């Protein structure tokens, strides 16, 4: 593990957002969804997420998650991903979302 400074950490915009829409993403190399996420005053952003093993579109709508919103945009097939949804790999390498257990305002920065 390489230490970072507090100033380094403060540069990462980890924000709370609510998933508004979920769409299949058949052109992705690995199974994924296209997500539309509301980050309140930070805007509505799109993300591609490889979370199909643990989640269906129906279970994702309205879920409040944590994402990095200040990475450069990334082209994934025919989709421009604007933020990185965070999560942890389970014992099989499938992603479990970083989600909030209590609601906070969309766009709230991690403290």
Q: State the pLDDT at residue 86.
A: 98
Q: State the pLDDT at residue 61.
A: 98
CB-hemisphere CA count at 13 Å for 78?
Answer: 4
- Answer whether residue 111 shows pLDDT above 90: no
- CB distance 35 to 93 below 8 Å: no
Q: Give, in order, the Cα–Cα distances in Å from 42 to each of 38, 89, 104, 106.
A: 8, 27, 14, 8
Name all domains of the chain by residue range, CATH numbers in brackets.
Answer: 18-97 (2.40.50.140)
Q: How far apart are CA 28 and CA 17, in angstroms?
A: 23
Could you report the per-residue pLDDT of 4-19, keeping only the tens digit for each? 999 999 999 999 999 9
Which helix (H) or strand (E) segment holds residue 59: the answer is helix 57-60
This prediction's pTM:
0.95
């Amino acid at each position: 593990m390489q230490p970072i400074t507090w100033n380094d950490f403060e540069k990462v915009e980890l924000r709370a957002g609510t998933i508004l829409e979920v769409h299949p993403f058949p052109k992705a190399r690995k199974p994924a969804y296209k997500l539309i996420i509301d980050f309140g005053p930070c805007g509505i952003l799109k993300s591609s997420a490889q979370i199909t093993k643990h989640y269906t579109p129906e279970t994702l709508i309205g879920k409040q998650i944590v994402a990095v919103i200040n990475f450069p945009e990334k082209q994934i097939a025919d989709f421009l991903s604007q933020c990185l949804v965070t999560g942890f790999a389970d014992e099989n390498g499938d992603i479990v979302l970083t989600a909030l257990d209590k609601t906070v305002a969309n766009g709230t920065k991690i403290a």
